[in-house]
Amino acid sequence: MRAGGDPGYEHTLAGPVTLRGIALHSGRPAEMRLRPAPEGTGIRFRRTDTEGPPIPATLDMVTGSTSCVALGGPRGVRMVEHLLSAAWALGVDNLEVEVSGEELPGLDGSALPIVQAIRQAGLRPQGLPRRLLRVRAPCWVEEGEGCVVALPSGRFAVTCVVTVGPPGPGDMAATYDPDRESYEETIAPARTWGYERDAEALWARGLALGASLDNTLVVGGSGYLNPPRFSNEPARHKVVDLLGDLALLGSRIAGVFVAVRAGHGLHIALARALQAQGG
């Protein structure tokens, strides 16, 4: 999807659009309304069920990264990564997001419905040049078997490697280069995924209460319980998550990223390291 203006300048939505669905973790009905925002303001969330200032989508507002990204603490919002991923990939720099509760709707578990909503609204160019963060030197973070690496480059590209353990298919990888591939076609449709064996433990922690075969790719005792959209769908969804987490830097990015068995925590740690590195 082309921005419709100079790609070196910020863009916002041409008009509002609303999405509704069930929240993946709370299991409650949720709604978010996306509205145009002034240049230079970035992406900001506002809860409509409680009073409080807007919550900017920035690294210093991250208060949780277990199973999803949470911003702004107890009165904040969570499960923001799919929206941030779609907005970043489609070139939406400034956006007001009104949310009916603590969590964004899970929709079909992917970023595709958000992409389609942004396409429906259209984009409007603005007058402020976009910020560009360049990876100046190799940067990496690691924990256990997981790591994320950022390397200097004149372009942006990512590769994600995940292991879908037995009875899953094992190691798999997915790449995304916006100069060569369509985010809407190759990345956005990939759904969140998990193991059937973990369901009760997640429910006990108040997580995945809204997950179902309609919005989650589930690995059961003899393989997938529902058909995957891609042979490497879990790795492609990890690209969705990584893009959403890097979007918290509030910049376009020049650099090549490789994530191996990483999650939101490592993604956020790397983004903070890059922020400290400057660019």
Amino acid occupying residue 254: A
H/E stretch holding 35:
strand 29-36
Residue 230 sits in which domain range? 132-277
167-180 average pLDDT score: 92
pLDDT (0 to 100) of residue 4: 45
* Residue ending a domain, choose from 129, 160, 182: 129
Q: Percent of the chain at pLDDT above 70? A: 98
CA distances from 248 to 57, 205, 272 (A): 6, 26, 9
Tell me if residue 267 is catalytic: no
Q: What is the rounded CA–CA span in Å between residue 36 and residue 263?
A: 30
Catalytic-labelled residue, pool 25, 82, 237, 264: 264
Question: Tell me: the pLDDT tens digits for 112-135?
Answer: 999 999 999 999 999 999 999 999
pLDDT (0 to 100) of residue 5: 56
Q: Which residues contact 51 (CB under 8 A, 6 or more apart)?
A: none
Residues 119 and 71 in one domain: yes
Arithmetic mean of pLDDT over the chain: 95
Looking up residue 150, the CATH number of its domain turns out to be: 3.30.1700.10
Residue 1 lies in a domain: no
Instruction: Show the tokens assigned to 173.
Output: 């990888």
pLDDT (0 to 100) of residue 1: 36
Q: Is 242 helix (H, G, I), strand (E, B) or coil?
A: helix
Residue 108 lies in a domain: yes
Q: Is the Cβ–Cβ distance between 22 and 31 less than 8 Å?
A: no
